[in-house]
Amino acid sequence: MLDKQFAFGSSTFNFTLLHSSKLKTVKITVEFEHGVEVTAPAGMSDQAVEQVLQQKGRWIMEKLYAIASIEAPPPRKEFVSGEKFLYLGRQHTLVVLERAERRPLLIMRNSTFEATVPPELKIWDRQHIIRELFRAWYKQRAEAKLIEQVRTYADRLNLQPTDIRVMEMDRRWGSCTPRGAVHLNWRLIMAPIQIIDYLVVHELCHLSVPEHSPQFWDRVGSIIADYEERREWLRVNGPSLTV
């Protein structure tokens, strides 16, 4: 599995390249969850793959534009008291406290987010501070919870990734590297646990089956029977998992 880039006209898109001994022609999929994924027959050269991408470039760009058009951008957060923020699929209310004697801090108390900031800040400065507090808080929780779920399902699948990382990812929820490392987007910590589990199992299954073949989906389905519903939830609600 290789991450590559292709220029089509004045546009450029990233794609993931895989090879399969079971294919005789190139297969291209374009989805929000995985972006552009190209599966080529084993032994096909990069040059031959690029020729196919050039032929299919207009179709690929139309698919990418269609995905972008249905992704309604979430309302911009104002980071004020009363606003709702997601954590493990549940909405929690933010309370902003102004205290001169304390450094900026975000905690969860009784299912409520409490953000403490210095008084008399300009509105954009306060928004920036609270946004960064949320990002740090989410990343810390994601490091613990997402890695815990990977280890749990790795044992069930009898698969062991070489590394597990929670990181910033652009338009991807997870990936499995050619060296067997599993990477997950920290924003998943805002999703319900069943969605996190689907992504975890999805990426772990790529350790044994790189391409999205029937064999791959059978493996996913053996652990997550309703993976199609969970996948659809992420397609529809994924854009809202942000701060």
- Looking only at the bridges linking them, the beta strands covering 181-185 and 163-167 are parallel
Q: Closest by alpha carbon to 95, among 103, 83, 86, 104?
A: 83
Measured between alpha carbons, how far apart are the two ends of the chain, in Å?
Answer: 30
| Of the residues 35, 70, 105, the one at which a domain ends | 70
CATH number, domain containing residue 176:
3.30.2010.10
pLDDT of residue 212: 78
* C-alpha distances out from residue 44 to 18, 23, 179, 227, Å: 10, 11, 21, 32
**Under DSSP, is residue 199 helix (H, G, I), strand (E, B) or coil?**
helix
The answer on 216 and 191 residing in a single domain is yes
- pLDDT for res 102: 77
**SS3 state of residue 99:** coil
94 and 161 housed in the same domain: no
Q: Of 15, 47, 70, which marks where a domain is finished?
A: 70
Any residues with CB less than 8 A from the CB of 168 and at least 6 apart, and which? 185, 186
Q: Which residue, 37, 70, 103, sits at the end of a domain?
A: 70
In a domain, 79, yes or no: no
Query: What 8-state DSSP symbol labels residue 51?
Result: H
Q: What is the pLDDT of residue 171?
A: 66
Range(s) of the domain holding residue 229 = 142-240
Residues 194/173, Cβ–Cβ less than 8 Å: no
78 lies in a domain?
no
Contact 195, 188 (CB under 8 A): yes
Q: Name, in order, each residue with C-beta under 8 angstroms of 187's C-beta and a sequence gap of 6 or more.
A: 138, 142, 173, 241, 242
Report the amino acid identity of residue 19.
H
Residues 94, 41, single domain; the answer is no
C-alpha–C-alpha distance, residues 103 and 149, integer Å: 33
* 187 and 133 belong to one structural domain: no
Is 63 found in the same domain as 93? no
* Statement to judge: residues 220 and 148 lie in one domain: yes
Residues 159, 121 share a domain: no
Do 122 and 163 belong to one domain? no
C-alpha 144/C-alpha 2 separation (Å) is: 28
The number of CA neighbours under 13 Å toward the Cβ of 147 is 13
What is the residue type of 110? Answer: N
Q: Identify residue 24 by its one-letter amino acid code.
A: K
Would you state the structure tokens that stand for residue 18, as one six-digit string? 């895989």
Is 230 in the same domain as 169? yes
User: How many structural domains are present in the chain?
Assistant: 3
pLDDT of the chain, 243 residues: tens digit per residue: 667 888 888 778 888 888 888 888 899 988 766 778 899 998 899 999 999 999 988 888 877 766 665 555 566 889 999 999 999 999 999 999 998 877 899 999 988 999 999 988 888 899 999 999 999 999 999 999 999 999 999 999 999 999 999 998 866 788 888 889 999 999 999 999 999 999 999 999 999 988 778 888 999 999 999 998 998 888 778 888 988
Helices 227-237, 214-223: crossing angle, 10 deg rounding: 100
| Residue 76 located in a structural domain | no
Give the Cα separation of 206 and 220 in Å (integer): 9
Q: Considering the domain boundaries, does residue 75 fall inside one?
A: no
| Burial group, residue 206, by CB count within 10 angstroms (0-12, 13-18, 19+) | buried
pTM of the entire predicted model: 0.74
Q: Is residue 130 part of a domain?
A: yes
**Residue 161 included in any domain:** yes
Question: Looking at the domain assignment, is residue 170 inside a domain?
Answer: yes
Answer yes or no: do 178 and 159 share one domain: yes
Shared-domain flag, residues 104 and 26: no
Same domain, 172 and 236: yes
Q: Give pLDDT, residue 26.
A: 92
